[in-house]
């Protein structure tokens, strides 16, 4: 009888332990990325995009950048709509590859690249410089988990790349737009940014965006259901473990 009670108590304890582990998984919150200080940008480099658009002419016209990524995607997509005069794009990632998008939407030529330190300089095709146009890039996603359903990403208009070996130029402001295919998002922090329907990042400006995943919200709901079942089973097993003792006391 003692062995039987110990078995039931052990099984009940396992159910409670698993339920506690699942609860911690869905309730745990990590420190979100900060967009207000450069040192955090450096230490959390895996969670931010450093991008610069360089023009050889007018520096007042912003470049437009659309960010597209969901948790189901293997790669993030950065789509640039460039004003006339842009000569290069600089990205703080050596894993990025970019190509020109033709007016009919077809894929054009790949952009010539030159790496300098941690930066990849992407030269705009000569035919595209006088008129401007669209460039699309793929790169591994830069995200950090903030909670079970939320990720955080910093977008940084990075004015630090050295342009002396790539023809010089001036850094443009970037107008950032974000997709919400995976769920809503909100702005957690910003620096040198103008917030609106699109986010205008001046050179040196950055913004922290929290993306809330509807898919992970559904997974969390299933976890809550499983936790409830485990707690119920665990309670029943603990009661069964102590039932002989309770019956003996009742006599």
Same domain, 56 and 14: no
Note the pLDDT of residue 57: 78
Note the pLDDT of residue 45: 61
At 80, list the tokens: 């640039």
**Could you give the angle at the alpha carbon of 208 between the alpha carbons of 56 and 71, nearest 5°?**
100
Distance CA 251, CA 244 (A): 11
What's the total number of domains in the chain?
Answer: 2
The answer to whether position 190 is within a domain reads no
Distance CA 206, CA 154 (A): 7
Distance CA 175, CA 171 (A): 13
**Is residue 38 classed as helix, strand or coil in its secondary structure?**
helix
The answer to whether position 188 is within a domain reads no
Same domain, 22 and 127: no
Note the pLDDT of residue 101: 92
Q: Which of 165, 183, 201 is the last residue of a domain?
A: 183
Same domain, 171 and 246: no
The answer to whether position 59 is within a domain reads yes
Same domain, 19 and 90: no
The answer to whether position 209 is within a domain reads no
Same domain, 12 and 54: no
Please list the ranges in the chain whose pLDDT falls under 70. Answer: 1, 31-45, 247, 250-251
The answer to whether position 80 is within a domain reads yes
Note the pLDDT of residue 139: 92
Note the pLDDT of residue 4: 78
Same domain, 177 and 227: no
Note the pLDDT of residue 39: 44
Distance CA 34, CA 36 (A): 6
The answer to whether position 35 is within a domain reads no
Note the pLDDT of residue 18: 92
Same domain, 127 and 48: yes
Cβ(131)–Cβ(119) under 8 Å? Answer: no
| pTM to 2 decimal places | 0.81
Q: 31-50: b or e for each residue (b if 16 or more CB lie within 10 Å)? A: ebbbbeeeebbeebeebbbb
Note the pLDDT of residue 43: 46
Domain range holding 241? Answer: 2-27+217-250
List residues bridging with 35 in a β-sheet. none
Note the pLDDT of residue 5: 78
Distance CA 33, CA 45 (A): 10
Same domain, 175 and 84: yes
At 186, list the tokens: 């909100």
From the CB of residue 53, how many other CB atoms can be counted at a distance below 10 Å? 27
The answer to whether position 208 is within a domain reads no
Note the pLDDT of residue 176: 93
Same domain, 6 and 91: no
Query: How many residues are present in the chain?
Result: 251
Same domain, 223 and 179: no
Same domain, 115 and 160: yes
Instruction: Look at strands 185-194 and 144-145 and give their pairing.
Output: unpaired
Same domain, 221 and 127: no
Note the pLDDT of residue 157: 92
DSSP strands (E only) in the chain: 48-55, 63-68, 76-82, 86-91, 97-101, 107-110, 112-116, 119-123, 133-139, 144-145, 150-157, 170-171, 174-178, 185-194, 199-212
The answer to whether position 19 is within a domain reads yes
Q: Which of 134, 167, 183 is the last residue of a domain?
A: 183
């Amino acid at each position: 009888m003692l062995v039987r009670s110990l078995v039931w108590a052990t099984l009940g304890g396992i159910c409670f332990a698993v339920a506690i582990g699942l609860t911690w998984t869905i309730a745990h919150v990590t420190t979100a990325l900060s967009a207000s200080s450069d040192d955090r940008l450096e230490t959390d480099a895996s969670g931010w995009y450093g991008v610069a658009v360089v023009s050889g002419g007018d520096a007042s016209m912003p470049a437009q950048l659309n960010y597209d990524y969901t948790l189901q995607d293997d790669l993030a997509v950065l789509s640039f709509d460039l004003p006339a005069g842009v000569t290069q794009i600089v990205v703080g990632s050596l894993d990025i590859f970019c190509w020109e998008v033709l007016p009919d939407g077809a894929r054009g030529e790949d952009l010539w690249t030159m790496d300098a330190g941690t930066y990849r300089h992407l030269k705009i095709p000569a035919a595209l410089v006088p008129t401007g146009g669209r460039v699309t890039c793929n790169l591994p996603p830069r995200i950090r988990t903030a909670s079970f359903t939320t990720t955080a990403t910093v977008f940084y208009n990075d004015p630090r790349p050295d342009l002396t070996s790539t023809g010089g130029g001036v850094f443009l402001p970037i107008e950032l737009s974000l997709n919400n295919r995976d769920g809503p998002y909100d702005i957690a922090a910003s620096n040198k940014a103008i917030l609106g329907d699109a986010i205008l990042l001046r050179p040196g400006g950055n913004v922290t965006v929290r993306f809330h995943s509807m898919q992970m919200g559904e997974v969390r709901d299933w976890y809550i259901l499983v936790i409830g079942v485990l707690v119920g089973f665990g309670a029943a097993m603990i009661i069964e473990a102590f039932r002989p003792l309770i019956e003996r006391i009742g006599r």
